Amino acid sequence: MELKTSSVAKRLGVSPKTIQRWVKKYNVPCQKNEAGHYVFDAEAVALLEQIKFEQGAALEPCINQENPQHPFSADELFNVYIEPQLNEFTSRLQNIEQKLNEKADDIVSVQLLHHRREIEELASQLHSLEQRIARLEEDVNREQAIITENAKQKPKRRGISRIMSLFV
């Protein structure tokens, strides 16, 4: 009798992955076919049944010691098995959130410093542009002053001398 992993899993009431895990963990002697799949004989199936029985025996401490017929209540099971893992998970989650917040703060700080540097560069460029505009305004005002000064001077009378030069 040779059985495949899925057949043994159905027979034992576990998943095929569990069978594969037990074969590796407990070094169950079994053959592999040409496709590389496990093939189990009667001896290997008996060994797997023994492993399943021992796995079930390991779960027996879950039975209430005062009344061995009844397992723990839902609250007791929660307090014993789920609550410690939930507390650990919550602690790890809070730790991750704290690290995430610190990382976000660091990133914001770097961005603020970068923006501050950019603003300082823009402020210096603005200052130099204001200085250039002031110099240009001074140059324009000087030129206008020269033009108005030249306009105030009396023009030379060349009209009469031209007329006289025509007669000569």
Q: 26 in a domain, yes or no?
A: yes
Q: 141 in a domain, yes or no?
A: no
The count of structural domains within the chain is 1
Beta carbons of 81 and 89 less than 8 angstroms apart: no
Q: 75 in a domain, yes or no?
A: no
Q: 166 in a domain, yes or no?
A: no
pLDDT for position 54: 81
Q: 94 in a domain, yes or no?
A: no
- CATH no. for residue 11? 1.10.1660.10
Q: 28 in a domain, yes or no?
A: yes
User: What is the span of the domain harbouring residue 51?
Assistant: 3-57
pLDDT for position 168: 65
Hey, which residues does 63 pair with through a beta bridge?
Answer: 71
pLDDT for position 57: 57
Q: 22 in a domain, yes or no?
A: yes
Cα gap 82→67, rounded to integer Å = 22
Q: 9 in a domain, yes or no?
A: yes
In the chain (168 residues long), the average pLDDT of successive 10-residue segments reads 88 92 90 90 89 70 48 70 85 95 95 96 97 96 88 66 68
Cα gap 143→141, rounded to integer Å = 5
What's the pTM? 0.36
* Interior/surface letters 4-41, b for 16+ CB within 10 angstroms, e for the rest: ebeebbeebebeeebbeebbeeeebebeeeeeeebebe
